[in-house]
Amino acid sequence: MVQSIILSGVAIGCIYALIGVTYNVMFSASRVFSFTAGTLGMLGGVLGSLFIAQIGLPVAAGLFLVLAAAAIFGVVTEIVAVRPVLRSLDQHLYVLSTLALALIVQQFTAIEWGTDARPFPRLLDLARGGFDQQYWLPMLACAAVIVGLELLYRHTLIGHAFLAISEDTYAARALGLPERRLRMASYALAGAIGALAGFAGGEMLLAFFGNAPMLTFYGFVPVALGGMGNNRGAAAAGLMLGLFQQAANFLVGGIFASVAVFAVFIIVLLARPEGLAGAKLQRRV
């Protein structure tokens, strides 16, 4: 029992962490939190089930198509919901535009895919066991993404450009960086990461349209607790969240877990709006 709590807790935590990273990648490129983060996770599950279980594509082809589709959705998000808003004076409108886009995709899925959760195929032909693939696949995905992003940001030219944009957009633009293309690339990357979370965690979360708002909320908790733009903080907070939730689920029931997570989230946010791994206040006047 302890083993299964830990395994499922870490696995779920890795999915939350990946959604948190999705938020972060979009945020660093545009200073915008997008409601589509959870939608991407949901799409990973639904599209994976569609391509592999329904259409019968091989797993590798299915994964490739899922990531490609999600990357395209990421770019569409940037073009439709983010870019026009960044230009406008009232930049808070991004909350509404990304919410609208997330709802459009979520409702479309509900209608075309159905409102019932459908099973997600087993990805690898291995026997079921204690340390099952449904647990280690999300962990692997999370580790790969975090390490991959670290390498990208530290050791490649395009990674440095991403960092420059997130540090100071105006200065980066003045240096001649193609800010808009880099932002689109970030959104494509974020799309792929979000969908990978839903795909790797498909067996646990199933292919279900309702995962979108759920992941949007629980995926944001690691961002809020870990500090925005901080991927390692998000990973740590995501793992804690997953473990806490699963433990509370087993021990005292899911309701308490949800209420407790919500309460902790609010309290931490109120006490430290900049997250546990803090940043500073902005100049307002």
Helix axis angle, 211-226 to 36-48, nearest 10°: 130
DSSP 180: H
Give whole-number Cα distances, 149 to 144, 190, 216, in Å. Answer: 8, 11, 21
Nearest to another protein of 90, 125 (CB atom): 90
Neighbours of 158 (CB within 10 A): 11
Contact 107, 201 (CB under 8 A): no
Any contact of residue 278 with another protein (CB under 8 A)?
no
Using the rule CB under 8 A, give the single segment among 11-19, 143-151, 237-245, 265-273 that binds another protein: 265-273
Neighbours of 159 (CB within 10 A): 15
Any contact of residue 128 with another protein (CB under 8 A)?
no
Q: What whole-number distance in Å separates Cα of residue 91 and Cα of residue 186?
A: 19
Contact 165, 28 (CB under 8 A): yes
Using the rule CB under 8 A, give the single segment among 67-75, 95-103, 131-139, 169-177 that binds another protein: 95-103
Nearest to another protein of 137, 223 (CB atom): 223
Q: What whole-number distance in Å separates Cα of residue 40 and Cα of residue 274?
A: 25
Any contact of residue 251 with another protein (CB under 8 A)?
no
> Quick one: which of 242, 256, 255, 250 has its CA closest to 1?
250
> Quick one: which of 144, 134, 150, 149 has its CA closest to 199?
134
Q: For the window 175-194, what string marks contact with another protein as x by the rule CB under 8 A?
A: --------------------
Which of 54, 64, 108, 167 forms a contact with another protein (CB under 8 A)? 108
Which of 57, 95, 152, 277 forms a contact with another protein (CB under 8 A)? 95
Q: Interface residues for another protein in 47-86 (CB under 8 A)?
A: 80-81, 84-85
Nearest to another protein of 63, 183 (CB atom): 183
Which of 101, 165, 188, 196 forms a contact with another protein (CB under 8 A)? 101
Please give the residue ranges that form the binding site for another protein (CB under 8 A). Answer: 33, 80-81, 84-85, 88, 90, 92-97, 99-101, 103-104, 107-108, 111, 213-214, 216-217, 220, 224, 253-255, 258-259, 262, 265-266, 269-270, 273, 284-285
